[in-house]
Amino acid sequence: MKLSEFKAVLAQHPEKTIGFILPGGEIIPVHAHVTEVARIDKRFIDCGGTFRTELICRLQTWVADDLHHRLSAGKLLAIIQKSASFMETEDLDVDVEHEAPVISQFPVGDVAPDGDRLLVHLTTKHTACLAPEKCLPPPQSISFNPIPSFKPAKCC
């Protein structure tokens, strides 16, 4: 979900309490804090040698002993709006960093009202080869040769 879309949903339901739902259906405790709003600017070279960039908005959660803490959509929106000076754009994906039990990042998939809560459904990330045409062996054609030839990848 893009930051612009996320902010619009928060603005529509400012009084609702935020609830984060992990990909497996587990709920991050309702007393979780959003401790950071960050712009993550990733610059890297893929395995094929191509320079790439990735820009995201990351919300970091933290679960403390403050069992009475509740984060409303309006308060989260106000926190995010303070980041506008360095976000520079709202056309970036939003993810949530949470320790579950190791620190992991979960893209925001959907945000939907549910009674007095606004549920933020988190999805999963996956790794992939970004240069399969350079790194992976070509697909084998169907052949009746009992010993297929194998050509090792040249870059990885």
pTM (two decimals): 0.84
| In the predicted structure, residue 150 carries a pLDDT above the cut 90 | no
Own/partner pairs, 99-108, CB within 8 angstroms, 24+ separation: 99/62, 99/63, 100/22, 100/26, 100/28, 105/58, 106/22, 106/23, 107/1, 108/1, 108/6
Place 101 in a pLDDT band, splitting at 50, 70 and 90: confident
In this prediction, residue 144 carries a pLDDT of 58
Tell me what pLDDT residue 141 has: 61
137 pLDDT more than 80? no
Intra-chain end-to-end CA distance of the chain, in Å: 32
What is d(CA 22, CA 31) in angstroms, rounded to the nearest whole number? 15
Q: Which of 99, 27, 14, 30 is nearest to 69 (CA)?
A: 30
* Mean pLDDT of the chain, nearest integer: 91
pLDDT attached to residue 145: 58
Domain boundaries, the chain: 3-135
Give per-residue pLDDT as tens, 21-54.
999 999 999 999 999 999 999 999 999 999 999 9
pLDDT value for 153: 55
Q: What is the DSSP string of 78-147?
A: HHHHTTHHHH--S-SEEEEEEESSSEEEEEEEEEEEETTEEEEEE-------S-HHHHSPPPPPP---SS
State whether residue 26 is helix, strand or coil: coil
pLDDT value at residue 139? 72
pLDDT in tens, 2-25: 999 999 999 999 999 999 999 999
pLDDT band at 109 (very low <50, low <70, confident <90, very high): very high
